[in-house]
Chain A
Amino acid sequence: MPTTPESDLYELVRPAIDPATLVRHVRAGQDGAIVTFDGFVRDESHGRATKYLEYEAYESMALAKMREIGAQIHEKFAIHRVAMVHRLGRLEIGETSVFVAVSAPHRAAAFDACRFAIDLLKRTVPIWKKEYFQDGAIWADGEIPPAAPKTKPAS
């Protein structure tokens, strides 16, 4: 399995994410660009006013999958460092749930890698979000990971 550089950062955290720290983490003299993705809690979902969200994860597997994504973008794009952090627990409107920062000598690779990373995270990392509304709560629809497409469970 491809590995990720020591200087990368992959974390699941409960306290608030501080984007500035993560941007500093990936910023180095040899780079010329940093692209970041800041995903935060929206105040509505399918037209219903959201009160707050709760995230949970299969933590050991989620971290392993985040590192795999990191390894993939290092392989595919000419980038330098990656910081990828997802928050768990209760999050209020406007709080950052996921942050990805990618540095590179040139901007194109940083843009492409950051987009690729967040798209893949949403499809393959075992994290779940429950949305709380005034009148109840639901698990977000989510995506079925393209995991093992060959067989289905017996029906």
Chain B
Amino acid sequence: MPSVFPSVRVKILFFGRVRELTGLTEENGEISEGATLADLLERYIQRYPQLAGFRASLVASRNQEFAAWDTRIAGGDEIAFLPPVSGG
């Protein structure tokens, strides 16, 4: 059905603690055009309230580049919410 707020399809990836807390490794989602990375995170926090406590430690990536939370999402984007990194 046509909508005033068209939505775009994105792929969201989950790693480490975020993967464990949500039980997700990857999913395709839809979000309104013009939504930001912060909006998308907010949606996951509502779905998985246990994420809320880790919000301040997460960093977003968009198409495999770190991205500011106010970055607008575009159709086909690959998004991830990355916990603090601990390689090495």
Residues of A participating in the B interface, judged by any CB pair closer than 8 Å: 39, 55-58, 60-62, 64, 86, 97-98, 118, 121-130, 139-145, 147-148, 150-155
Minimum C-beta distance from B78 to chain A (A): 9
* Chain A residues in 8 Å Cβ range of B82: 58, 126, 145
Q: Which residue of B lies closest to A64 (CB)?
A: B64
Given contacts A139-B16, A145-B66, A153-B41, contact A128 B88 (CB under 8 A): no
Contacts A58-B13, A58-B15 hold; do A142 and B69 have CB atoms under 8 A apart? no
Is there an interface contact between A124 and B16, defined as CB atoms closer than 8 Å? Answer: no
Residues of A within 8 A of B70 (CB): 150-151
Interface of A (DSSP majority class)? mixed
Query: Known: A58-B82, A98-B88, A128-B83. Is A144-B16 also a contact (CB below 8 A)?
Result: no
Which B residues are CB-close (under 8 A) to A143? 84-86
Q: Which of A60, A61, A118, A127 has the most CB of B within 10 A?
A: A61
Give how many B residues have a beta carbon under 8 Å from the other chain's beta carbons. Answer: 33
**Which listed residue, A60, A140, A152, touches B86 by the CB 8 Å rule?**
A140
Contact with A along B26-47 (1 / 0, CB 8 A): 0000000000011001100000
Of A86, A123, A139, chain B has the most CB atoms within 10 Å of the CB of: A139
In the assembled complex, the Cα of A148 lies from the Cα of B65 at a distance in Å of 10
Residues of B within 8 A of A97 (CB): 87-88
Interface hits, B1-23 → A, CB 8 Å: 13, 15-17, 19-20
